[in-house]
Amino acid sequence: MHLSTFVTKTSAILFLYSPLASNLLCKLKTQKHFGLEVVIVYENKDIYSMKNFLYILLLAVATASAVGTSKPDFLKHRLLSEIKTVAPGQTFTVALFLDHDETFHTYWQNPGTVGLATSLEWNLPTGFKAGPIQWQVPGKVKMVIYDAHGYNSDATLLVDITAPETLPEDEVKLEAKAVWMVCGPEPKQCCNMGFKNLSLKLKTSVSTEWDEAGRSQIAEARRRLPQVLDGWEQTAKLIGEKVVLSVRNAKGLPVPIDKKLYFYSKLNHFTTLVEQESEVERNELRISLPVADYAPEKIGELVGLLFHPRGWPGTNGKKYMPVSLSLK
């Protein structure tokens, strides 16, 4: 079994996997013990006993000094803004830009059965509010032999910030702690956790001055966000250990079958270790989603993106169909 451990002053993060193991990876677990945050990806649920957990925790602490800051950096990152000056009450967009080294990737909001989503923890001036991350459409990535959801090339994760009606006279500082996991497809590349405190300084003014470079990059990122597709009927129901999603064009346009059809669930209810099966009958596409053994007992909704590599008929080539349904 391969073990990689990455430790900061306040966190111990462990990643366990065996590239040759035949049993399935279980879901990422996060717990805090003795002031340390421990993240474990493991092969069998039975491993997550207190005895094993304490053993792994002690191993992490023991190796902390050896790890230090020597781990390589496979990711370039920066915080950018579409504005240089902020006006009272203004809502504007900032972004975390992630530029991966060749063959490496980071993860989408639901990475699947393996992986860890990028996160931002904001520390903002009084009265400022940050919205959730707006995730650009994902693709399939490989962690060793396992499929996951993420970004092989660069990713620009958008966040809307709203300023209060009263601002300081000179400038404000926006701070965020970014956390990510960057992985390669080969066992020797393994995975690396990243932590970085990032900040932006913006002048305050009664009017807005745009940052043209940041504005252009953020505008491009907005074009990579999911877009609502009109004219499609969607239903979903639970059948045995699978959820079956059905879509049909309201005008009766045929939907071509394709082996790369795939549903990216925003909720971590489905395993990415079992293939999704799809079929078309009478212009209705049905795709079966295998429920994960770590899913809640009752799945009440289906939320995500249905991907068609050829583009959905009648949508000018749009490949991602947003789905938000209650299960019947």
Place of tokens 């079958």: 257
Q: Where are the alpha helices (DSSP H) in 40-180?
A: 50-67
Report the C-alpha dihedral over residues 161, 167, 173, 179, rounded to 10 degrees.
-30
Q: Single out the residue in 222, 244, 271 at which a domain terminates.
A: 222
pLDDT tens-place string over residues 208-230 = 999 999 999 999 999 999 999 99
b/e code 267-281 from CB counts within 10 Å (16+ = b): ebbbbbbbebebebe
Would the CA dihedral through 222, 73, 185, 5 be positive or negative? negative
CA atoms within 13 A on the CB side of 174: 31
Mean pLDDT across the stretch 269-293? 94
Which two three-digit tokens encode residue 177? Answer: 């702690």
Q: Per-residue confidence at 193, pLDDT binned at 50, 70, 90?
A: confident
- Structure confidence at residue 114 (pLDDT): 86
Burial of 97 (0-12, 13-18, 19+ CB in 10 A): middle
Do 211 and 294 reside in the same domain of the chain?
A: no
The CATH number assigned to the domain holding 79 equals 2.60.40.1250
- Structure confidence at residue 2 (pLDDT): 33
Do 192 and 292 reside in the same domain of the chain?
A: no
Do 80 and 47 reside in the same domain of the chain?
A: no
pLDDT tens-place string over residues 4-53 = 333 333 333 344 333 322 222 323 333 343 344 444 443 333 333 343 34
Q: Per-residue confidence at 192, pLDDT binned at 50, 70, 90?
A: confident
- Structure confidence at residue 101 (pLDDT): 83
- Structure confidence at residue 230 (pLDDT): 93
Do 122 and 155 reside in the same domain of the chain?
A: yes
